[in-house]
Amino acid sequence: MSRIGKNPITVPAGVTISVNGDNVVTVKGPKGELKQEVDRDITVVVNDGKVEFSRPTDQIRHRSLHGLYRALIANLVKGVTDGYQRKLELIGVGFKASNQGNLLDLTLGYSHNIVFEVPKEIKVATAQEKGQNPTITLEGIDRQLIGQVAAKLRSLRKPEPYKGKGVRYMGEVVRKKAGKAAGK
């Protein structure tokens, strides 16, 4: 039995979970509504404030899907109650970030500014305090979407291993390499 898949999800107060005939799970909460399609082999049962998942056989495919869908639905429940937040920091001389609504204007050392449109489901905020690196904060209820947008922003200028310049997640540790002088 999957250790993750067999754990039931407890539904907090104010959250309603429903499963329709097409195996689409809808989670409604104080922060919004999210939907997740579940594979037809995995059965989802909602009763007594708990969501339970079961699989028909012990095939490798069924075992892997069992834990996957349990984790995805747990992320939806946490998203509609608490929400998710991801912070990125810009490290480098002259690196800047500003936003007007959901348009993010980035100066990352290229010959031009990069204008990035953040999806409307995500709230974006930028901060630039003296003595600190500029930061970008992404907030929303969809964990997958926030992770995807954060990864895309990071890919615009990945942290390089010699000086550590680039866009990185807050708290990310970049292993630095020794330069040419260390080889002698």
For 84-169, CATH gives 3.90.930.12
Q: Please state the pTM of the whole predicted model.
A: 0.89
pLDDT over 70 (residue 184)? no
- pLDDT at residue number 178: 87
Mean pLDDT, all residues of the chain:
93
- pLDDT at residue number 183: 58
Classify domain 9-81 at the CATH topology level.
Outer Surface Protein A; domain 3 (3.90.930)
CB 108 within 8 A of CB 114: yes
Task: Decide if 9-81 and 84-169 have a common fold.
Answer: yes
Residues 53-82 have a mean pLDDT of 94
Determine whether 156 is exposed, middle or buried from the number of CB atoms within 10 Å of its CB (0-12, 13-18, 19+). middle
- Residue boundaries of the structural domains of the chain: 9-81, 84-169
CB 27 within 8 A of CB 143: no
pLDDT over 70 (residue 1)? no
